[in-house]
């Protein structure tokens, strides 16, 4: 596969409580309207995961009033693949995309305390995932801040860990192992979870590249129970995704077939409805792949990065909620494979991490037209991947 693709297996898609057991009386289904106050739109700190094989690190940047980034700290850690920050911006959670931790076949996760003045990080806890849950791809925090969910592409596993009041992580409380496969013999020989997000009612929505499947789980006392399953087109390989709760739409990238799909999602029932729309992001060339996805805060623009054997680019699509359809808006080529995309909360800037050149760039986004204006270099680091922004 390496000779046919710009990605290695390891970097294919990454280039996107109380005690240790749960004490829930039933499904975590109540709304969490009070957990998030209206956020500021001014970026304060930027955290960039350098998912390098030999020099993994989390880089902390202070974002000045003029938008320039200043490096204030680099914390060495093994292969950080995903970042998530608590709602109060006091704790950073990290997945380490490794196959062994403490001489056991398992990935690991970490939590760090964030200094509220400098943005610097101090390690709070390190935890092993369950046995055979290796190469964790993505983490997400439950809306009430009580749990961290982790999906591991190796072992086809989802792990749920409690978050203690001090930001430390408890031991894995729930393990869910998945099975399944699809038509691509290289990438889809087994279940390969890629991303997890919470809806506003505390359910987990997950993508599985290996099984061509989107799933919805709810947290019960001792299990992640299936609420809904949706099989995608064979060979699509759902990976990066974003749930836009304001318009009840789940956007998902097809890593293997070069598409983005909008799925109507009912948060009341936790069901993916039959209505959907598909757009092709990549050029019609062999081996073209989609690696990252970002949705504008308005929900009416979707951006995806793509690569083939020779070229890399970012495409912008307008999404019409009423007609439930996509229309192309803008496209630009990039120097290397863009591993991560993120809109700022204002929607005025798109942040892109180029894993090949090591450059993190900011594009000005023209909302009225969907145009991306020439990028500004914000930072440099080896193999930048996941990015998380905090706000004033």
In a domain, 8, yes or no: no
Domain containing 193: what range? 43-391
Residue 106 lies in a domain: yes
pLDDT, greater one: 327 or 9: 327
Instruction: Calculate the dihedral angle through the C-alpha atoms of 25, 27, 28, 33, rounding to the nearest 10 degrees.
Output: -100
Predicted confidence (pLDDT) per residue in 271-295, tens digit = 999 899 999 998 777 678 999 999 9
Domain annotation covers residue 62: yes
Average pLDDT, stretch 365-376? 94
Any domain includes 58: yes
| Assigned domain for 10 exists | no
Asked if the model's pLDDT at residue 214 lies above 60, the reply is yes
Question: In angstroms, rounded to a whole number, what is the distance separating the alpha carbons of residues 195 and 136?
Answer: 10
Domain count along the chain: 1
pLDDT in tens, 54-112: 679 999 999 998 889 999 999 999 999 999 999 999 999 999 999 999 999 999 999 99
Task: Please tell me the pTM assigned to this model.
Answer: 0.90
User: Residue 53's pLDDT is what?
Assistant: 62
* Any domain includes 323: yes
> Is position 135 within any domain?
yes
Please indicate, yes or no, if residue 7 is contained in any of the structural domains: no
Interval 148-187: pLDDT, tens:
999 999 999 999 999 999 999 999 999 999 999 999 999 9
Give the pLDDT band (50/70/90) at residue 22. Answer: very low
Residue 241 sits in a domain whose CATH number is 2.130.10.10
Residue 40: per-residue pLDDT: 63
């Amino acid at each position: 596969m390496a000779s046919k693709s710009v990605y290695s297996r390891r970097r294919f898609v990454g280039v996107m409580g109380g005690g240790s057991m749960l004490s829930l009386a039933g499904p975590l289904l109540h709304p969490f309207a009070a957990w998030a106050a209206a956020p500021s739109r001014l970026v304060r700190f930027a955290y960039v995961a350098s998912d390098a094989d030999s020099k993994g690190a989390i880089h902390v940047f202070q974002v000045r009033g003029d938008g320039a980034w200043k490096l204030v700290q680099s914390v060495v850690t093994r292969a950080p693949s995903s970042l998530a920050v608590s709602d109060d911006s006091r704790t950073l959670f990290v997945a380490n995309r490794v196959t062994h931790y403490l001489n056991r076949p398992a990935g690991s996760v970490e939590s760090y305390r964030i200094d509220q003045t400098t943005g610097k990080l101090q390690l709070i806890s390190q935890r092993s995932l369950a046995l055979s849950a290796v190469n964790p791809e993505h983490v997400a925090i439950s809306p009430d801040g009580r749990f961290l969910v982790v999906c591991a592409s190796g072992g086809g596993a989802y792990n749920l860990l409690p978050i203690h009041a001090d930001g430390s992580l408890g031991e894995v409380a729930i393990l869910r192992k998945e099975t399944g496969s699809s038509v691509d013999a290289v990438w889809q020989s087994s279940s390969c979870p890629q991303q997890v997000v919470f809806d506003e009612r505390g359910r987990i929505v997950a993508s599985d590249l290996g099984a061509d499947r989107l799933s919805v789980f709810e947290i019960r006392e001792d299990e992640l129970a299936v609420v809904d399953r949706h099989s995608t087109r064979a060979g699509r390989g759902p990976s990066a995704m974003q749930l836009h709760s304001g318009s009840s739409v789940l956007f998902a990238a097809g890593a293997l077939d070069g598409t983005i799909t909008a799925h109507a999602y009912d948060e009341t029932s936790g069901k993916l409805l039959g209505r959907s729309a598909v757009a092709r992001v990549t050029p019609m060339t062999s081996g073209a792949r989609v690696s990252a996805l970002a949705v504008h805060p308005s929900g009416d623009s979707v951006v995806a990065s793509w690569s083939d054997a020779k070229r890399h680019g970012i495409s912008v699509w307008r999404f019409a909620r009423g007609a439930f359809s996509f229309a192309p808006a803008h496209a630009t080529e990039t120097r290397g494979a863009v591993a991560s995309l993120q809109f700022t909360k204002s929607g005025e800037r798109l942040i892109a991490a180029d894993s090949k050149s090591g450059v993190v760039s900011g594009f000005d986004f023209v909302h009225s037209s969907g145009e991306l204006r020439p990028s500004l270099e914000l930072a440099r680091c080896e193999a930048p991947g996941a990015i998380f922004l905090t706000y004033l």
